[in-house]
Structure 1
């Protein structure tokens, strides 16, 4: 869950509600408040294993100030806003694990090179900055569904992450009241292979967790098909469906996700 860095009074409650917190030094903090926000981050008592800090783009002076701030903390996972240059990301201090936020046209175009970097551990995408970088005005249709260009970027980031065996994080759902839309997108993210979905409000956490938690019917199928695979071996038919190794991998993923969610 994202949390503005200039609202330190929210840090503890965010960590209590979400699996991890992205403390935002970029868009969520006005330029005039960034210095105070960095001071608040230094003073905060945070679990470095559950905190990510979204820093400003590497091309900006604020990026160096952000890293100087983090050097005074134990936090070592950073999210690079508007990640575009694989060369510059590769030169980041090796102490930091990088989540590259590919949210511009140039970032999506470079996503395969960024994903291949040794210091990049995960990728995320963002719809609004992407559309703004293209000169557009909205990432979604009047129905609330993503426009094709956003869906393309989402897929490209997911595939690039998967090709490098790294995690992909799905974008935030900005319409907090649209619970149905969030649930639909989070369920699609989980089924497609995203490792997580980011959010911006505490009420969204439970919806996302439910979407990633396999239903009992799915788990029953997964257990049964894996037992059948031990008996049958090779390719076989189960409940009218052909089953081979990719299908068995789906089943193992469901069981692993259920185990991880406990």
Structure 2
């Protein structure tokens, strides 16, 4: 099983069923959230909403509570009674806990604690995992920090390290990597810069928390016309070459051709 969704994945609280259809219509996929977006007293109702949801299962991800949570078992039981089989597992730390899911599930493991980030390579190797995502706020809280970003909006080094580690772990095991949410909903410029960096770095998607962020993410992942033209032309030129060759003053070898293929894959 592979990850075929993206690039804009929109979180939607599972206790707000009136938002389900609209969220799915606006984004590439909707993440129905049973975890942080739902208060403990509303979790049973959120699971009931999940059971009643009539949505395209191929574009729905369900975020369940972390395996150490008292809510995890109830979440699994509820998901099993729905057609939804793509599940995001919050605060994944031990790959063995993912054995709770049968082979019919595709898992997005959320590495958002110190233990989860450190074990990201082991988590990515689990046969049911199709993607890794990282989360900045829970991560910094798990190590006793108070802020994942500087005052100018940029990530602190510790968050950037975690982001890179999760991306490397995903790539090393052939899994997709999903970038974290940008919490400042009105900071379109910051989101655009962050999503463009994610796309250029190799992330396959970016999660978001508001519909207005979806167009910005899509635009950031979509190559511009000049880049698309370069990719097509350099790949065409390679058909008549053997190994390394010179193209428009630049040396072209297999890594450059892989870059070009990646560009076309995002078109």
TM-score normalised to the size of structure 2? 0.95
**In the TM superposition, what are the counterparts of 1:181-196 in structure 2 within 5 Å?**
181-196=190-205
Q: 1:83 aligns with which of 92, 96, 107?
A: 92
Q: 2:259 aligns with which of 243, 250, 259?
A: 250
What is the match of residue 212 of structure 1? 221
State the distance in 1 between where 2:237 and 2:86 align: 42
Aligned length: 258
Confirm or deny that 1:148 pairs with 2:157.
yes
Confirm or deny that 1:29 pairs with 2:32.
no
Q: SS where residue 137 of structure 1 aligns? A: coil
Q: 1:94 aligns with which of 92, 100, 103?
A: 103
Which structure has more RCO (C-alpha within 8 Å, separation ≥ 6)?
2
Q: 2:61 aligns with which of 41, 52, 57?
A: 52
Shift of residue 229, structure 1, vs aligned partner: 1.2
Superposed structure 1 runs of 4+ greater than 4 Å apart: none
Q: SS where residue 49 of structure 1 aligns? A: helix
Shift of residue 155, structure 1, vs aligned partner: 0.5
TM-score normalised to the size of structure 1? 0.97
State the distance in 1 between where 2:53 and 2:97 align: 29
State the distance in 2 between where 1:210 and 1:128 align: 25
Q: SS where residue 61 of structure 1 aligns? A: coil
Shift of residue 58, structure 1, vs aligned partner: 0.7
State the distance in 2 between where 1:121 and 1:17 align: 23
Describe the superposition over 1:73-104 as per-residue Cα deviations: whole angstroms up to 9, x where unpaired.
10111100000011111343333221100000
State the distance in 1 between where 2:172 and 2:92 align: 18
Confirm or deny that 1:122 pairs with 2:131.
yes
Gaps of 5+ in 2: 1-9
Distance 1:95 1:227, change over 3 A: closer
When structure 1 is superposed on structure 2, of 1-10 and 40-49 the one drifting more is 40-49
Shift of residue 33, structure 1, vs aligned partner: 0.4
What is the match of residue 146 of structure 2? 137
State the distance in 1 between where 2:154 and 2:32 align: 28
When structure 1 is superposed on structure 2, of 157-166 and 225-234 the one drifting more is 225-234
CA root-mean-square deviation: 0.9
